[in-house]
Amino acid sequence: MRSGPDISVVIVSYNVRPYLEQALRSVRKALDGIPSEIFVVDNASGDGSAAMVRGLFPEVRLIVNEANAGFARANNQALRLAAGRAVCLINPDTIAGEDTFRVCLRELDARPDAGMIGCKVLNPDGTLQPACRRSIPTPWVAFTKVSGLAALFPRSRWFGRYNLTYLDPEVASEVEAVSGSFMFVRKEVLDTVGLLDEDFFMYGEDLDWCYRIRGAGWKIVYIPEARIVHYKGRSAHEASFDTIRFFDDAMHLFVRKHFRTGWSFLPMWLLRLGIWIRSGVNALARLAGRLAPAAVDTALIQAGLAAAHWVRFGSLRHWASYRVVDLLYTSVWIVCLYAVGAYRKGLFSSAKASAGVLLGLVLNASLTFFLPQYAFSRKVVVLTGVFAWILLAGWRLGIRFLPQFTRLPFLGNIGRTLLRRRAAVVGTGPDAVALFERLNRRIEAGYEMAGLIAPSGEDLNRPAGDGPPVLGALADLGRIARSNRIQTVIFSPESIDTHRVVAAIAGGRGSQIDFKMVPRGLDLIIGSSSIDSIEDVPLMDLDDRIYRIHNRVAKRLTDISAAVLLAPAWLATLAFILLRRRMRLRRVPVAGDLARPVRVLRAFRGEAAVGGWTGLAPLFIDLFAGRISLVGSELRSWEGKPDPVGFKPGMTGLVQIRERGGMSGEEKERVRLYYLRNYSYLLDIEILFKAVFRL
Evaluate if residue 407 carries a pLDDT over 70: no
CA neighbor of 617 nearest in space, from 561, 655, 575, 589: 575
CA neighbor of 425 nearest in space, from 547, 544, 537: 537
DSSP H stretches of helix in 111-168: 139-147, 149-152
Q: Mark 502-531 as b/e (b = at least 16 C-beta within 10 Å).
A: bbbbbbbeebbbbbbbbbeeeebebbbeee
Task: Round to whole Å and give the CA distance between 129 and 93.
Answer: 14
CB 496 within 8 A of CB 524: yes
CA neighbor of 503 nearest in space, from 484, 476, 532, 470: 476
Domain ranges of the chain: 7-133+169-239+246-255, 290-376, 420-543, 549-694
Task: Round to whole Å and give the CA distance between 161 and 141.
Answer: 6
Task: Round to whole Å and give the CA distance between 162 and 132.
Answer: 11
pLDDT of residue 536: 44
CB 54 within 8 A of CB 125: no
Task: Round to whole Å and give the CA distance between 20 and 47.
Answer: 11
Lowest mean pLDDT among 180-189, 354-363, 681-690: 681-690
Lowest mean pLDDT among 258-272, 409-423, 514-528, 553-567: 514-528
Q: What's the sign of the alpha-carbon dihedral 336, 337, 342, 343? A: negative
Q: How open is the CA angle 430-431-435, to the nearest 5 degrees?
A: 115
CB 628 within 8 A of CB 598: yes
CB 235 within 8 A of CB 91: yes
Task: Round to whole Å and give the CA distance between 341 and 169.
Answer: 51
pLDDT band at 282 (very low <50, low <70, confident <90, very high): low
CA neighbor of 163 nearest in space, from 118, 229, 230: 118
CB 428 within 8 A of CB 454: yes
pLDDT digits (tens, 9 = 90+) for 80-133: 999 999 999 999 988 898 899 999 999 999 999 999 999 999 887 778 888 888
pLDDT of residue 341: 76
pLDDT digits (tens, 9 = 90+) for 150-171: 777 777 777 767 777 778 888 8
pLDDT of residue 57: 94
DSSP H stretches of helix in 122-202: 139-147, 149-152, 187-193
Evaluate if residue 6 carries a pLDDT over 90: yes
pLDDT digits (tens, 9 = 90+) for 23-54: 999 999 999 999 999 999 998 888 888 989 99
pLDDT digits (tens, 9 = 90+) for 480-489: 887 777 888 8
Task: Round to whole Å and give the CA distance between 405 and 413.
Answer: 9
pLDDT of residue 653: 85
**Above pLDDT 90, what percent of the chain?**
16
Task: Round to whole Å and give the CA distance between 570 and 622.
Answer: 12
pLDDT digits (tens, 9 = 90+) for 566-585: 888 888 888 888 887 678 88
DSSP collapsed to 3 states, 213-263: HHHCCCEEEEEEEEEEEECCCHHHHHCCCCHHHHHHHHHHHHHHHHCCCCC
pLDDT band at 65 (very low <50, low <70, confident <90, very high): very high
Whole-number Cα distances in Å, 656 to 552, 681, 692: 21, 18, 12
pLDDT of residue 39: 97
CB 600 within 8 A of CB 635: yes
**E strand intervals along 370-466:** 421-426, 447-454
pLDDT of residue 523: 31
Average pLDDT over residues 192-218: 79
Please check whether the two domains, 7-133+169-239+246-255 and 420-543, share a CATH topology: no
DSSP state of 348: T
Lowest mean pLDDT among 143-152, 229-238, 310-319, 610-619: 229-238
Lowest mean pLDDT among 30-44, 235-249, 603-617: 235-249
Lowest mean pLDDT among 53-57, 60-64, 601-605: 601-605
Average pLDDT over residues 324-339: 85
Evaluate if residue 263 carries a pLDDT over 70: no
CA neighbor of 175 nearest in space, from 122, 127, 116, 232: 116
CB 457 within 8 A of CB 472: no
Task: Round to whole Å and give the CA distance between 319 and 84.
Answer: 79
Identify the CATH homologous superfamily for domain 420-543: NAD(P)-binding Rossmann-like Domain (3.40.50.720)
pLDDT digits (tens, 9 = 90+) for 314-328: 777 767 776 777 888
Q: Does 240 or 512 have the greater pLDDT score?
A: 512
CA neighbor of 249 nearest in space, from 282, 268, 276: 276
CA neighbor of 456 nearest in space, from 644, 659, 290: 644
Task: Round to whole Å and give the CA distance between 486 and 483.
Answer: 8
Q: Residue 397 — φ and ψ, nearest 5°?
A: -65, -35
CB atoms within 10 A of CB 280: 10
CB 630 within 8 A of CB 653: no
Architecture of domain 7-133+169-239+246-255: Alpha-Beta Complex (3.90)
Q: Does 184 or 593 have the greater pLDDT score?
A: 184
Q: Does 628 or 319 have the greater pLDDT score?
A: 628
pLDDT of residue 234: 52
pLDDT of residue 526: 32
